[in-house]
Amino acid sequence: MRPIIVPFFISHRGCPHQCVFCNQMRIAGDDGELPDGEAIRARVAAYRGTAGERSVEVAFFGGSFTALSLVDQECLLAPLQPLRERGEVSGIRISTRPDAIDGGNLLWLRGMGVDTVEIGIQSMDDAVLEKAGRGHTAAQVVTACRLVKDEGLTLGAQLMPGLPGDTPATSLASLRRVLDLAPDFLRIYPTLVIAGTRLAEFHRAGEYVPLSLAEAVSLCKKLLHTALVAGVPVVRIGLQSTAELESEGSVVAGPYHPAFRQLVEGELCLDLSRKLTADLPRGSKVTIFCAPSRVADVAGQRRCNVETFRREGIDVASIVPDPDLSPLELRVEAGVICRRGNLLT
């Protein structure tokens, strides 16, 4: 079973730069004030109360954890030590920047129970990084990732396709360079224009045009497929929907959708379904079999994939859950025809 994540948002704290795309107050709805020990223990206890048999992990999101002062880092981690010793907290994860990592602080963090480090990489193209105001280079990303892996910690990598100066080709190249660094998991956040950011100013001035929703879905489908083929899980695609993010005026422009991942997964399933039905005559009636967790993706959001097939002359009679199929497999039956395919091929 997946662990319950107890989140603490330390928005902007420790960040030495203001990236052009970033307004974490709008994204996370948190002022970034560091919680004290009492607040940390109380939140963990509240989450444990609903966790049942699932383990509990603590995560510090936003900001740059390792760029905080050592005093602040210890204030956040020290209250968790008794909980770790009693088995009430099974792991701790942090997020940080590539240029705020060195072997010494990773050794100390591991001793304090941190077992996962997520690095905000965003791009592996130095020109894109410079335009985004990141303040680090791709070479520093390589060094940071190797240090995390050498310390035996779980490595997470975050990418942001669609930044100023980025293209689909550079986004794919960035992903491939990151995959070469052997991350344990990925997050992919297509760039949004958030109110109160320099990117919003660029957009108003006509100096930046974000990806459309269709463009972002198409690109992220390719990124997801590439990661899956490499065997690296993508744990999130698109920003998590929050009341703050969905409030009027928060997202000025860009490919925001509260179910963005489902759009991407639906496109992957549509591609494979089309391949399996490519030579069937118009008017054919088909049944699509998939893993139980894939039924909604095969149908598409609001059954858009079924409607696409209808327009193309194929009648999807039903979508049937089949527990013998993996989430990567589909089977199509049309009369005596039976075909099986894999999303990775």
pLDDT in tens, 173-217: 999 999 999 999 999 999 999 998 999 999 999 999 999 999 999
Residues 6+ apart with CB under 8 A from 200: 193, 194, 252
Identify the domain boundary among 212, 240, 257: 257
pLDDT band at 63 (very low <50, low <70, confident <90, very high): confident
The CB density around residue 128, as the number of other CB atoms within 10 Å, is: 23
* 73 shares a domain with 23: yes
- Residue reference for tokens 């109160």: 196
* 253 shares a domain with 148: yes
Nearest CA-CA partner of 144 in 133, 156, 132: 156
* 189 shares a domain with 277: no
* 175 shares a domain with 218: yes
Q: Tens digit of pLDDT for each residue in 36-58?
A: 999 999 999 999 999 888 999 99
Average predicted confidence (pLDDT) for the chain = 93
Q: Name the residue range of residue 324's domain.
A: 264-342
Q: Are 130 and 153 in contact (CB under 8 A)?
A: no
How far is the C-alpha of 154 from the C-alpha of 152, rounded, in Å?
A: 7
Identify the domain boundary among 224, 240, 257: 257
Identify the domain boundary among 236, 257, 278: 257
* 333 shares a domain with 250: no
Per-residue confidence (pLDDT) for residue 33, from 0 to 100? 79
pLDDT band at 131 (very low <50, low <70, confident <90, very high): very high
* 231 shares a domain with 169: yes
Number of domains in the chain: 2
Question: What CATH number should be reported for the domain holding residue 303?
Answer: 3.40.1260.20
**DSSP designation for 143:** H
- The tokens describing 148, both together, are 């995390």
What SS3 state is found at 181?
A: coil
Largest pairwise CA distance in the chain: 69
* 121 shares a domain with 227: yes
* 280 shares a domain with 205: no
